[in-house]
A and B are shown apart, each in its own frame.
Chain A
Amino acid sequence: MSVKVIIPAPLRQYTEKNDSVLVDGQTVDEVLHNLTERYGDLRKHLYSDEGKLRSFVNIYRNDEDIRYLDKGSTAVKESDVLSIVPSIAGGATAMADGLSLLTKD
């Protein structure tokens, strides 16, 4: 079973310019795993070196942020659309601020 994944503009250079890709999987984690298997250069922009989804990478199932669903275990079905949505963050200093960008857990 495959779902449609919407690729944001900055990442299309790694998906052969496609703005959406059909990917197999039953859960968000499976879909993202298969997506980054197919397009290896995507991986470092989506996942940290520890293999965790980066804090500024948001995944929506249809209109809902998966953080408020079952996170990576969120189930997907054929008609669902997964979107990779950026948050944009930065700041003047590298000073540790001890606060994650968005509350995840």
Chain B
Amino acid sequence: MARAGVARSYPLIVRAASQQAKHIMAFELRRKEWERIEKEGIAAYPEECCGVLLGKEQEGRKVLSDIVPLNNARKDSPRNRFLILPEDFVRSEREARARGLDILGFYHSHPDHPARPSDYDREHAWPWYTYLILAVEKGQPRDMTGWLLSDDRASFLPEEMTLSDDGTKFEARSGT
């Protein structure tokens, strides 16, 4: 797919920093990781893919350096659910630490569903982590958006994402 489409489909929306989360984060990633997440989403379609975002956070700026695809443990309902088991979480964290990295968050896909968090996503979310959501429509990757849980757990706040290759910024339009 045309790479230019990535930037075009995510108009930058200027918004005042929200007071709803303790730490307003900015998330930086390279096209390389973006495309890997898209490939994961395509390969898993019509099921959901999921994985870990690894990198470093400094003063509210998260920089992604790698992704680690994980097994979706929801064998009963893989088309609209994903689950990363605690033992997989612990293993990922250990591997991250051995590489001098931290878990910054998680990605998952929404097959034939918009790239915005569902109530189910929010009810199960942890604060601080970035939740990247990729919409995959009829097997093709569409929007990708990033979200942070608000401190009161009532909403997901859109997180500003920057493609570090060329500085393109994009942000989802609004929370749920």
Q: Which A residues lie at the B interface, using CB under 8 A?
A: 8-11, 13, 41, 44-45, 55-56, 58, 60, 65, 85-95, 97, 99, 101-102
C-alpha gap A86/B111 in the complex (Å) = 24
Task: Report the contact-size class of chain B (Cβ under 8 Å from the partner).
Answer: 35 or more
> 14 pairs across A/B with beta carbons < 8 Å?
A13-B22, A44-B153, A45-B153, A56-B126, A87-B83, A87-B89, A90-B118, A91-B80, A91-B82, A91-B120, A92-B110, A93-B80, A93-B113, A94-B120
Q: Is the CB of B120 within 8 A of A86?
A: no
Interface membership of B69, Cβ < 8 A? no
Q: Is the CB of A87 within 8 A of B86?
A: yes
C-alpha gap A11/B128 in the complex (Å) = 8
Interface membership of B124, Cβ < 8 A? yes
C-alpha gap A95/B77 in the complex (Å) = 11
| CB-CB under 8 A for A92 and B128, given A45-B153, A85-B86, A86-B86 | no
Interface membership of B141, Cβ < 8 A? no
CB-nearest residue of chain A to B22: A13
Residue picked from B82, B119, B120, most chain A C-beta under 10 Å = B120
CB-nearest residue of chain B to A49: B153
Q: Is the CB of A90 within 8 A of B120?
A: yes
Cβ contacts under 8 Å, A85 to chain B: 86, 89-90
Cβ contacts under 8 Å, A13 to chain B: 22-23, 127-128
Task: Please report the number of residue pairs spanning A and B whose Cβ atoms sit closer than 8 angstroms.
Answer: 101
CB-nearest residue of chain A to B131: A90
Cβ contacts under 8 Å, B119 to chain A: 94
Stretch at the interface among B27-35, B101-109, B160-168: B101-109
C-alpha gap A97/B76 in the complex (Å) = 10
Cβ contacts under 8 Å, A86 to chain B: 86, 89, 126
C-alpha gap A9/B96 in the complex (Å) = 13
C-alpha gap A95/B112 in the complex (Å) = 15
Cβ contacts under 8 Å, B131 to chain A: 90
Interface membership of B10, Cβ < 8 A? no
Within 8 A of A (CB), among B123-168: 124-129, 131, 151-153
